[in-house]
Amino acid sequence: MATIAIFLRPSAKGVGFPGSVYIRVIHRRKVLTVTMPYRLFVEEWDVGKGFVVFPPGVAAARRGYLREVEEMLRLDVERLKEHIRQLEAEGVEYTVQEVLAVLRYRSGCCMLKGYAAVQSALLKLRGQERTAEAYLSAMRSFVMYNGGCDLSLRRLDELRLCGYEAWLKERRLTFNTISFYMRNLRALYNRAVLEGLIEAPRTSPFSQVYTGVQATKKRALSKTEMRILDKLDLLANEKDTGGSGLRQALDIFLFCFHARGMSFVDVAYLKKSDVCEGLISYLRRKTGQLLEIRITPAMQEIIDRYTEETAGSPFLFPLIREADKPLRRQYLSALRLQNSRLGRIARLSGLQKKLTTHCSRHSWATIAKGEHLPLWVISEGLGHSNEKTTYTYLASFERTVLDKAVEKVSRAIKKAG
């Protein structure tokens, strides 16, 4: 549990000048402080007990200010303790920076670093670790561009953002990476506007920077390639191939595919309590959206294969094995192992493609498109908030169809000649 203490830092100007009040938090041997916007003289502070005192003969106006500081410090400490209690109750692995972010957020006039840290902590409490990390990553990138200095969100104007974009381009980052940073900064900015922390501008300061998504080459598998994986026997030569571990990796890959392209992170966090009467109901880790999936015979066969192994676990699959240890760390370890094993499976099966956890999702979408399912159905199946995202998934498929169309037209011309 983190510990909290309040101190007064005497003014560097010497006696006769007010000093700064700061709060110190210690957690896991890490110490961090935040300076509060309160100014007190040495005689107005009890060093031993760490709270405000009222010197004899203090003027009424000053006494009123001291009472206000006393009350605000009390509220600050209560707010910190409540935040710590929430983090502890959720079993979230947190840092001392995330604890103090609550105060930086309020006392720093909505500074980017503090606000990003607070929003990140809230997202982690809701289980959206990936988005939480994205917010922090975008914040750190902008602060690096800004010479390591924090910045008030209200000062995120068009000129600064255009300069930031140019800086990112100079570092030869891809357009999608630039967009990633900009979209996360925009999300933080828009949330601060929504909460009334900054005034809504007439036009968005992000209107002149790139926030789109360029279609990248997807590694979707064809129906034939999926059938090869489905029929692959990895246990025949278990000693040579490490069959049991690879079998699990293949099972999880196929489960993701049959579960409408469920993301690996969602499979890893699936609990037995999410299954009821042949239906899986879960919240997407990325968006928080509730999805429901009917369990098919193929999915049930895979689930049944791990019933014994997960007998004492709340999770459906043996990817996160210890509920009392940091879940995120176990998930990331499982993700690395899964991708490593999928690479071996691709070589054993003779597939000339790089096999990753995300391939199953793209493959489901592409095969569904090939089966002439409407775009809205595919979008709903994947849990996309809009069809634009689904278009990005299917871009490579559409290009393949167009390439074949070009070839067909070319052949038609030659035949006509």
pLDDT tens digits, one per residue of 252-284: 999 999 999 899 999 999 999 999 999 999 988
Is 362 a member of any domain? Answer: yes
- Which residue, of 77, 107, 137, is where some domain finishes? 107
Domain that holds residue 91: 1-107
CATH number at residue 157: 1.10.150
Count of domains observed in the chain: 3
pTM: 0.58
Place of tokens 């926030």: 211
Task: Judge if 256 and 400 occupy the same domain.
Answer: yes
CA distance 183 to 195: 18
The mean pLDDT of 212-237, rounded to a whole number, is 78
Q: What is the pLDDT of residues 295-324, one digit of tens each?
A: 999 999 999 999 999 999 999 999 999 877
Task: Judge if 94 and 125 occupy the same domain.
Answer: no
The mean pLDDT of 151-168, rounded to a whole number, is 91
CB-CB contact of 112 with 139 (8 Å)? yes
Task: Judge if 121 and 39 occupy the same domain.
Answer: no
- Which residue, of 59, 87, 107, is where some domain finishes? 107
The mean pLDDT of 185-212, rounded to a whole number, is 88
Task: Judge if 276 and 391 occupy the same domain.
Answer: yes
The mean pLDDT of 1-26, rounded to a whole number, is 86
CB-CB contact of 206 with 178 (8 Å)? no
Q: Dihedral sign, CA of 231, 236, 240, 241? A: positive
Task: Judge if 153 and 169 occupy the same domain.
Answer: yes
pLDDT in the model for residue 126: 67
CB-CB contact of 77 with 6 (8 Å)? yes
CA distance 267 to 1: 31
Asked if pLDDT for residue 404 goes beyond 50, the answer is yes
pLDDT in the model for residue 2: 82
- Which residue, of 90, 107, 124, is where some domain finishes? 107
Task: Judge if 158 and 203 occupy the same domain.
Answer: yes
Of 153, 136, 23, 121, which is closest to residue 78 (Cα–Cα)? 23
pLDDT in the model for residue 109: 46
pLDDT in the model for residue 110: 65
Task: Judge if 140 and 176 occupy the same domain.
Answer: yes
CA 131 and chain centroid, separation: 2
pLDDT in the model for residue 215: 60
As given in the structure block, the two tokens for residue 54 are 């009222």
CA distance 87 to 66: 32
* Residues in the chain, total: 417
